[in-house]
Structure 1
Amino acid sequence: MSTLSDAGRGYRRDHEALLAQLGEVLGSVHRPTRALELLVDAFVDTVADFAQVALRGGQGWIAVGRTAGHQVVGVDDHAVGRRRAEAIRDLLARRTAEHWVLPPDTPERIEVLGNLFGATPLVEQLDSLDAVSLLHVPLVARGRALGILTLARRGPEDFTPEEIGALEDVAGRVGTSLDVSVVVADNRHVASVLRTALLPPPLPSAHDLDVASYNRVAQEDVTVGGDFIDLHGTDEDLTMLLGDAVGKGVAAAVAAKRIRSSVRTAALVDRSPDRVLDLTNRVLVTEVTSPIESFATAVCGRLRRLEDGAYDVTLTNAGHPPPIILRRSGRLEYVESHGPALGVFEDAEYGSSTHRLEIGDILVCYTDGITEARGRADMFGEDGIANALAGLGGAPSSAVVERLAMSVSSFMGVDSLDRDDAAILAVRPTGV
């Protein structure tokens, strides 16, 4: 390893080598943990025998360190414990470089190192260097300290004032670059958490109800959309929901989640579908500022199991395409029950109708992403649904959903750019 000397020539050589190596790292890595690994490599390769970078991000403190001749510590576990975080915060509070003389080979020396580097191999590695001092340099960006760089050298060699000044300048560049990396990583984390929160929960299974669903989002790159499906309650008394929030992508997914949550809450008050949608509509009307941009259509159903294994299905429609009952015989029955879309009229009224679902009959609900799917000349429409369901009387729900989804996909063609969110839900009493 090259060493820095008080004489300017050796120092300048290593300082320039450090800047050259950092130039290859900074600005090209946007994952903080990887950036820290490359940074400690650069410092150990050029100006020190030991380096650690501790960084504070949106998810807490992380730290990566390395001693010459050893592997990076922190690859598998970057987290910083409470005691180490407190020590780092104390250093950062001073906002200037700290040049610490280490105690000699005493228990106090190990205690100091343990507070700074935790229960990691770095303590033993650094102690074996017999370093006389530690140099702590804050990493500052946008007027705030976001991390700290700690350096040490083997044996009696120490950092000169000239070197410390130059390393403070380097730390400023490092801090700015890491700040960008942290912001990017935090934004990605927030987006990931929100996206996960917006995904619909998996549908439960009832022991005598065959349930299948399909959900295609228009904006595949964001993985969420405005069509929503939900099923909750007990085996004997289930609330079913399928709907379509206006728009696409994240904004529509947020509206869809709000509606799912409102329906679940309303069902705790009254499980009648017309009352559920009435309460949900009242919530939405009070929350939205522009009904044109915030309305949704939906079908809500209450499925109650009867003693003979059949189900009574009570359905309420809020501006949504009509559900279909595919009888075991193959006959199609369209359930016409109309009401206004959700989130538009405060005084909206919703009616309901009740139907008997025999064992082997299938209730099929779908969004307008199915009926309004566009082919080369026209839309898929109800005729397309009828053709897709032909011959499927008594089939499993999964077969019905798969046939309908594949028929729509084939009708649109693989090159179609005019795609909307689409969802299908099918339920079938099995009697077992």
Structure 2
Amino acid sequence: MDTTRVSSTAFDGTPQAPAHARRFVRQVLGEWRLSHLAEDAVLLTSELVTNAVVHAGTGIELTCRLDPDAEPARLEIEVDDHHPARTVLAADDAPSDELRASGRGLVLAGMLADAWGVTYTRTAKRVWVRMELTDGPEPQGSTPDGPVPVVVAAPVGTLHVGVVMCDRDGIVRSWNPEAERLLGWPAGQVVGLPLEGLVAWRGHGPYALSLADTLGLCRWRGEARMRHADGRLISVYVSHLRTRGRPEDRLAIWMVVAAEHGYVLTPPPVPLRREAGSRIKDLLAQDMPFTELLDTIARIVQMSCGGDAAYVLLATGVFGPGRGTPTVIEDLLAADVALAEQLRARSLACAPLLVTGPADGEVTGYIVVTAAQPGRFDQELTVSLQHVADQVAVPVQRERLAEQERAHRSRLSFLAEAGELLAGVHDEELIAALTAQLVVPKIATWAAVYLTDLTGMTRLAHVWHSEERHNAELRKSLPAIPHTALDEVSWPVGPESVLSFPLLTQGRSYGALVIGRGEPTLPLELAGLVADLCRLVALNLHTAMLYTRQATTSKVLQRSLLPMRVAPMPGLESAVVYEPAGEGADVGGDFYDLFTVAGHWCFALGDVCGSGPEAAAVTGLARHAVRLLAKERYTVADIFDRLNRALLEEDEEGEGRFLSLLCGELTPLPQGGALCTIASAGHPPPLLLRSDGSVEPVATPQLLLGVEVGARFFVETFELAPEEVLLCVTDGVTERRAGDVLLDDGDGLSKLLSGCAGLSAHAVAERVRRAVETFSAVPSRDDVALMVIKAAAALRSVR
């Protein structure tokens, strides 16, 4: 004889189908005495039906099939939809992103069922799971934890169901005749008295409530002791219910029976609630991703509590401060309208996740179950919820601490990256651009940087949007020059929320960082990170602005050490190359000058020993002294004598600021060319390129200036004929190094100049400069200065 049991039903493919399916399976398994399998079976059914609703969208047929004669006995649950083209992938074959998109139903099937599979036909797809019944159906009078003692009920003829009603202050307002038969008190003696005087109340468990708190609950069942009129304390079973309405009109109703008649008011056994804790304990022992673990726990809680939805919330501000005990809210709409609308629920039960250890008692989150109808949960449920919450609190706290550590490391890494990126940047515009690109898109959708200069003027320096095509539009929407304080500016209203962070350091504002985010609020961790970034940016802006001001001042002073322009020399071509070695410097230790005096020209090329401001000071002294003395008609020899004394007088601390100087005068000759009177104080000798291509030095090196007080200097003369070229250089040219070889080794400069016959002065200067630059791959560490003078066929007199 076939003993297989089959029960089927059908649903429309609507969001309500999973709830209907859960109730159907729970009812069927109760009738078949398989309540010990209900937790897993209902969870699997809910997942399979949910997947069918989401991915098929057709009508659904649900079948439960029990085969007790199989070896072993088995329970099969089948879910049929009418979309066979939508195939189902096994968890091992499906990519992780598809599993995330399609839910965890089939993963749960692999975890909870002994077997599962999919059968396809032309018109339908059937997903089935099989659960083996190793112990067979549960026997009468047993529970999943084993047999329980059989309680012998008292005769029904002795049953009295007392009804007691109290107001919100616990004052008895009604006392029915059955209560009088049970407890011996006539209504006239107890109405108007506090119920507390008739009840020997004591709470049970770590979250026990007082009698006053219990009267305020929506529902409650349990044992208590009440005082009989003869003074005895008798054990009773109480079913508590609170009426709805205005708070001042609500009544607490107690249905009271003797303890031996408690079965009359006791709700049906709920094995799901007893098994939820053990199932979650098994889950916590597995190595699962944290988010998947919380999702599975929420599903188990939903199934075990019979709610419409369940959540594991890791936010502590959901229910306000002080919610450190499990709570049932009968009608959420009356308590918190916004939360009721957000959760789409009327009933709510929650238990806190409490931290143990140094922060004992701290709430890190909640386990919450909700239902669309009011009054769905009773206080008894919170005990189960708190049991689950106590298990979940440990991994949640562990994950929270790990997340804090990861966030701290990420914050340090971000700030280190920003510091490294901004280090050494002395351009304010570049700092603004880098700052905007640091926060977009990691922190914000768009960012704008306002800069306030040393005069207090604020301007929009840079904008950056995660989609670059919006940059121009964003710049137009923001004020270019705010006319109010940055913290008072009305930023444009758009899809993003706008936040402004000041760039402050050392008590001064250097502008602001303005960001736009799609989220309405900025988490505290991100707010702290942005504030730290702004302090770092402000410090770099402070340094950059000081550097800019110092560099500007330095450039102005340095430019005063060089001639504004080279004097035109009719009949002569001149070219000058000047390249200081210092980064960002306009003037180094080398200097040059070329000017007219009466009927002739004067030129000078010098090199100060050393570098920095001290060398620049000697440069300024030397150049201006040469020009001033020449204007006063001093000869070249006298210029050297006076400048030598001036250097020695200025060197009061004996630092030895020596100077090599090449100085000369050019007087035009009637037949063309010029007569050159020249002197060289420790300077590389000038080279003369003759018209036939030969090269010869035309000055004898003498003692450096600033060395000896009584030093005397002499001059030499030669004729610069038409088409001949005079090359004057500093040691940055002759001593240009490539390894151990110098450019002028073996008369290298003379050979270079000999190949310049027929070139213009500018061409000669460029060829020499190019030769210096390419002589070595290593940049030159010395200043480079050179002057080229070429005589034309005939000179005109200087007027």
With structure 1 as the length reference, what TM-score do the two structures score?
0.61
Residue 3 (structure 1) aligns with:
none
Matched, 1:63 2:460: yes
Pairing 1:316–2:679 present: yes
Deviation for aligned residue 1:306: 3.6
Of the candidates 292, 297, 302, which is equivalent to residue 660 of structure 2? 297
Q: Distance in 2 between matches of 1:34 and 1:75?
A: 17
3-state SS of the aligned residue for 2:539? helix
- Most deviating of 282-291 and 368-377: 368-377
Change (3 A) 1:7 1:48: farther
SS at match of 2:471: coil
> Which structure's CA Rg is the greater one?
2
Q: Match for residue 237 of structure 1? A: 600
Correspondence 1:187 to 2:583? no
C-alpha offsets along residues 252-296 of structure 1, whole Å, 9 cap, x if unaligned? 566545533443344444463334334443443344456665211
Aligned to 2:83: none
Alignment match, 2:589: 226
In the alignment, what sits opposite 2:536? 176
Question: Residue 36 and residue 317 in structure 1: after superposition, are their counterparts in 2 closer, same or farther (change >3 A)?
Answer: closer
Provide TM-score, normalisation by structure 2.
0.37
**In structure 2, distance between residues paired with 1:194 and 1:79:** 34
Q: 2:504 aligns with which of 115, 118, 140?
A: 140
Cα drift, residue 311 of structure 1: 1.6
Mapped contact 1:37–1:72 kept (Cα < 8 A)? no
Superposed CA offset, 1:89-129 (max 9, x none): xx7xxxxxx6x5xxxxxxxxxxxx6xxxxxxxxx7xx4555
CA contact (8 A) 1:337 1:351 kept: no
Higher-RCO chain (CA-CA 8 Å, sequence separation at least 6): 1
**C-alpha distance after superposition, 1:311-339 (max 9, x if no partner):** 23221322223334444355655434565
**Letter in structure 2 aligned against 1:183:** T
* 380-389 vs 240-249, which moves further: 380-389
Counterpart-to-counterpart distance in 1, 2:754 and 2:445: 75
Q: Tell me: CA distance 1:79–1:311, structure 2 relative to 1, closer, same or farther (3 Å).
A: farther
Contact 1:140–1:176 under 8 Å retained in 2: no
Task: Give the 5 Å matches for 1:275-290.
Answer: 275-288=638-651
Residue deviations 1:147-177, cap 9 Å, x none? Answer: 34567999xx8x99x97x9958843541233
**How far apart, CA to CA, are the structure 2 residues paired with 1:407 and 1:129?**
60
**Cα contact 1:305–1:312 (8 A) shared by 2:** yes
The answer (yes or no) to whether the contact 1:32–1:178 under 8 Å persists in 2 is no
Shift, 1:209, TM fit = 0.7
Once residues 37 and 392 of structure 1 are traced to their aligned partners in structure 2, the CA distance between those partners, rounded to angstroms, is: 48
Residue 715 of structure 2 corresponds to 352
- Choose from 726, 729, 742 the match for 1:366: 729
Return the letter of the residue paired with 2:504: V
Contact persistence 2:504–2:538 (CA under 8 A): no
AA of the residue aligned to 1:54: Y
Contact 2:673 2:720 in 1 (8 A): yes
- Structure 1: which 5+ residue stretches go unaligned? 1-5, 10-15, 92-97, 101-112, 114-122
3-state SS of paired residue (2:540): helix
Q: State the number of aligned residues.
A: 377
Please give the alpha-carbon distance, in whole angstroms, between the structure 2 residues aligned to 1:150 and 1:400.
55
Query: Structure 2 stretches of 5 or more lacking a match?
Result: 1-314, 319-406, 795-799
In 2, distance between residues paired with 1:40 and 1:397? Answer: 50
Q: Secondary structure at the match of 2:706?
A: coil
Partner of 2:450: 54
Change beyond 3 A, Cα 1:191–1:212? same
CA distance in 2, matches of 1:40, 1:241: 50
1:340 aligned onto 2:718: no
Q: For 1:12-411, what aligned pairs fall within 5 Å after superposition?
A: 23=415, 26-27=418-419, 28-29=421-422, 30=425, 32-37=428-433, 53-57=449-453, 61-64=458-461, 71=471, 84=483, 87-88=484-485, 126=491, 138-148=502-512, 170-171=530-531, 173-184=533-544, 186-187=546-547, 190-191=550-551, 194=554, 197=558, 203=566, 205-213=568-576, 225-233=588-596, 237-247=600-610, 255-256=618-619, 258-270=621-633, 272-288=635-651, 293-329=656-692, 334-336=697-699, 339-369=702-732, 380=744, 383-389=747-753, 396-397=760-761
- Cα-to-partner distance string for 1:229-257 (whole Å, 9 max, x where unaligned): 33223795322112222246887566545
Aligned partners of 1:302, 1:248: CA distance in 2, in Å? 28
SS in structure 2 of the partner of residue 350 of structure 1: coil
Distance in 2, Cα, partners of 1:296 & 1:228: 11
What amino acid is the match of 2:596? G
- Alignment of 1:426 with 2:788, yes or no, is yes
Partner of residue 104, structure 1: none
Residues 427 and 37 of structure 1: CA distance in aligned 2, closer, same or farther (over 3 Å)? closer
Distance 2:494 2:479 in 1: 25
- CA separation in 2, counterparts of 1:365 and 1:402? 14
What is the deviation of 1:208? Answer: 1.4
Conserved? CA contact 1:329–1:394, under 8 Å = no
Query: Deviation at 1:35?
Result: 4.4
Cα offset, 1:146, TM superposition: 3.2
The 1:371–1:378 alpha-carbon spacing in structure 2 relative to 1, beyond 3 Å, is closer
Distance 1:240 1:145, change over 3 A: same
Q: 1:269 to 1:73 in 2, by over 3 A?
A: farther
For 2:535, the aligned partner's letter is G
What is the RMSD computed on CA atoms of the aligned residues? 5.5
| Structure 2 counterpart SS, 1:294 | coil
Amino acid at match of 1:425: M
For 1:119, the equivalent position in structure 2 comes to none
Relative to structure 1, is the Cα distance of residues 137 and 348 closer, same or farther in structure 2, using a 3 angstrom cutoff?
same
Give the whole-Å Cα distance in 2 for the aligned partners of 1:71 and 1:373.
Answer: 49
User: What CA distance in whole angstroms lies between the structure 1 residues aligned with 2:554 and 2:623?
Assistant: 16
Shift of 1:381: 5.6
Percent of pairs with identical residues: 26
Shift of 1:212: 3.8
**For the residues of structure 1 that align with 2:446 and 2:769, how far apart are their CA atoms?**
60
Q: Contact 1:270–1:276 at 8 Å: present in 2 too?
A: no
SS of 1:71's partner is helix
Q: Verify the 8 A CA contact 1:248 1:421 in the aligned structure 2.
A: no
Query: Against the structure 1 CA distance between its residues 53 and 414, is the aligned structure 2 distance closer, same or farther, given a 3 Å change threshold?
Result: closer
* Contact 1:64–1:72 (8 Å) recurs in 2: no
CA contact (8 A) 2:450 2:459 kept: yes
Deviation at 1:298, TM superposition (A): 0.9
